[in-house]
Structure 1
């Protein structure tokens, strides 16, 4: 997630706190959808049960895990966060989020300690694959699954699966904060106390719709019409011809952690008085410029879209992936390009409340069958603070599992860990082979390495650019 996730308040919790189970309704409550949820709901109607919008996540834990305390902590968070109890149904022809009473979710334990090492590893891989390739019926909950795999007495794996309708990048931060707090309390034999929410989904959804229907909504639409006037789709050579419809088949590719790349991103950001994300995005744009031959490039970036007070406390899908238009004309120095990218990012952030669907309707781009409108490539960077999983007495590493899907042609992901930068790519494998995807990751890392000691280098002279044919 972008740097804005790092701004989530840790010390500024409301003075009023409550036990985790307080506030859960006794009956189901229907609330309007947020704009981000509406887009996902429509996609789900076109392809029910699709894996495209599911998120499989693994926590690798070392130390003396208390499975009972962890299962209780998961239920504490579900009880505390109404969005995690949501299902999505139609009422009188309109989709609504139905917040269910908390009935408890099962967190089974799979004990593999009785197997020999090879059998244990094979079963772990099978369980990972099973949960990664599990779909959801969004009309029935919960849209979260969790289970614990015991590998050794002091080594466990927690396998989690979410539907994107109930979570986003900011939500993952909130989820891990809540799980960590609840597990510490449960392991100590007490109920957790979690901060009381300041606002509910119904209030936020109504306020969002009022804004979009009013003068501010019109101002947002005028901005995007001007910002994207005359913009063209990226023209990238592919290994395979584009089909007549998007099938969203892909793989999540990753290179080993690079300490040097992480240091370079931070140093370049400090020197340019900007953020590591802006530098990472600039490096990706240099590669796309070389691959396409285009000076005018539009890519997508995720924004939190939590501008209303209290929204930052709720787990749910507020995410809005918005376009940024980048000017790479004139063979600028890399440090100059970073400033251009930073300005474009700020412009987009200031207008992030316009739902992407509204942007598409306003701009009315020429549509190409099987191609995502306006942007086909996205870029994001998550900071070290993104997943603050700190469970009492346990070491924790997390990773995502590839499950054969890709929402865009290419989605560049960077993850800053304490050990360095993990560079990843979600690749549309209907268009490119794995080898091409790994090559693109390597080229971004080459660009970052090339500018680390020479940020004033014109982008046309960078090694990673010259080799990006």
Structure 2
């Protein structure tokens, strides 16, 4: 009889297990994949999901502490019942049915998984009419990331074709998440990781520069609260049956959200047109342009020249594990010093090189380097930046500030900026800690950022 297999846990799994146990809400860090269909065959989809569980061990993995060490337990494919939770909304008017589906989906996304018992996915099926259905796969982030969801969809299509044709799939052990964990363990525990450790020791040795935009007495009060949070989290962690001190910093960072505000800014049509031209013509990437623009804005408002931003930088380490489903995408702190870089071309080349260096080293768990610092390095990173391209049109026509929400938007960083680019428009969504900043200063920051983007584009396009 097949039995469960026991493997070492990854840095991500260790971090998320600790976070799961110290947060009162069990850290429901869940992702969603939705499909709209005109027909739904329950038996076919159950067979497809069974084959997906057979192919990808991560979907039948749980985390358990055994003799004081956290392991990933890979169960047999028949351990979990594949349940399609079907909700009949055919009795509702279309608008009411859509609203009810949104509420059901929101509730499911906010419901935590039991990461020690599993499974770490659930499936909802919303039936609006007999020929209009939506299928929603809810995953704990531990088993997937944005890149992996595309692999999941491709895998389902392949399994469906094989099932319908009667073909057999050849399972590839190289795609398993456990293979990635062996790679990571080798980096952490052998000389193969020396160049990565040396890089992170070099950039982290002086700590992380906080934003000079924060004024007194808010700065001192917030730093004091942060130290109190560090002590509280550590106190909770040391009561658990397992703790890995190398990965305490991100647990502290995501232990709780700060109260925040939210502002959306849409780039003027002329600026967006030049951004698209820049993307087609220039060697430096669009993320480079956005990072440079926000640094210049922060510099204008505070005089600051050295920065650290947490940036999503790597989907897969050195392009390995391209067919592996799991949480492999990662980000890390990228350090900048813009002193003396007054030429637009020089500044963009410098930013691009810093981002490249981050992408080459970020898959090594940087938190494990210099983790004994007080407070732990990485327990607070002042700025988070993400950039996403969408293939669809936005349909938006507004320019400038399009949305303001002075309270009620949680945030793990002091500032978080999400740059979203569609086929017809571009925008930035700014989330800010309103213990540290006010709405007016954040609006001014975004207007200045847009102005610097226009200046940089004028110089290089």
Sort the TM-score into its range (normalised by shorter chain): 0.7 to 0.9
| 1:313 and 2:323 aligned | yes
Match of 2:415 in 1: 410
2:187 to 211, 217, 221: 211
The range that moved more, 316-325 or 234-243, is 234-243
Q: State how far apart, in whole Å, the 2-side matches of 1:122 and 1:291 are.
A: 43
Q: State how far apart, in whole Å, the 1-side matches of 2:93 and 2:162 are.
A: 34
Counterparts of residues 189-338 of structure 1 (less than 5 Å): 193=169, 196-198=172-174, 200-230=176-206, 231-237=208-214, 242=222, 243=225, 244-245=228-229, 247-249=256-258, 255=264, 260=269, 263-304=273-314, 306-307=316-317, 311-330=321-340, 332-338=342-348
Q: State how far apart, in whole Å, the 1-side matches of 2:415 and 2:430 are.
A: 7
- TM-score, normalised to structure 1, is 0.73
Change (3 A) 1:419 1:101: farther
Match of 1:151 in 2: 128
**Residues 289 and 453, structure 2, Cα contact 8 Å, conserved in 1:** no
Q: State how far apart, in whole Å, the 2-side matches of 1:437 and 1:109 are.
A: 47
Deviation at 1:379, TM superposition (A): 1.5
SS of the equivalent of 1:454 reads helix
Deviation at 1:75, TM superposition (A): 4.3
Change (3 A) 1:311 1:156: same
Deviation at 1:453, TM superposition (A): 4.7
Change (3 A) 1:169 1:410: farther
The range that moved more, 287-296 or 414-423, is 414-423
For structure 1, which runs of at least 5 residues remain unmatched after alignment?
A: 1-24, 387-402, 458-469
**Residues 259 and 409, structure 2, Cα contact 8 Å, conserved in 1:** yes
1:26-48 C-alpha deviation (Å, 9 max, x unpaired):
32111111222222222223226
For structure 2, which runs of at least 5 residues remain unmatched after alignment?
A: 230-254, 393-407
Change (3 A) 1:453 1:47: closer
The number of residue pairs the alignment matches comes to: 409
Match of 1:397 in 2: none
SS of the equivalent of 1:332 reads coil
SS of the equivalent of 1:361 reads coil
* Cα RMSD for the two superposed structures: 3.9
Q: Which has the higher helix share?
A: 2
| 1:79 and 2:85 aligned | no
Q: State how far apart, in whole Å, the 1-side matches of 2:209 and 2:411 are.
A: 22
**Residues 263 and 443, structure 2, Cα contact 8 Å, conserved in 1:** no
**Residues 293 and 453, structure 2, Cα contact 8 Å, conserved in 1:** no
Change (3 A) 1:88 1:155: same
Q: State how far apart, in whole Å, the 2-side matches of 1:205 and 1:299 are.
A: 27
| 1:175 and 2:152 aligned | yes
The range that moved more, 308-317 or 320-329, is 308-317
Counterparts of residues 19-98 of structure 1 (less than 5 Å): 26-47=2-23, 49-51=25-27, 54-57=29-32, 59=34, 61=36, 64-66=38-40, 68=42, 69-70=44-45, 72-98=47-73
Q: State how far apart, in whole Å, the 2-side matches of 1:323 and 1:361 are.
A: 14
Deviation at 1:211, TM superposition (A): 2.6
Match of 2:249 in 1: none
Change (3 A) 1:374 1:427: closer
Change (3 A) 1:228 1:374: farther
Q: State how far apart, in whole Å, the 2-side matches of 1:201 and 1:136 are.
A: 19
Deviation at 1:354, TM superposition (A): 2.6
Match of 1:166 in 2: 143
**Residues 298 and 374, structure 1, Cα contact 8 Å, conserved in 2:** no
SS of the equivalent of 2:138 reads strand
Q: State how far apart, in whole Å, the 2-side matches of 1:456 and 1:39 are.
A: 42
**Greater RCO between the two (CA within 8 Å, min separation 6)?**
1
Match of 2:77 in 1: 102
Change (3 A) 1:442 1:294: closer
Deviation at 1:88, TM superposition (A): 0.8
1:176-213 C-alpha deviation (Å, 9 max, x unpaired):
33234445666x67678577342544443233223322
Deviation at 1:444, TM superposition (A): 8.1
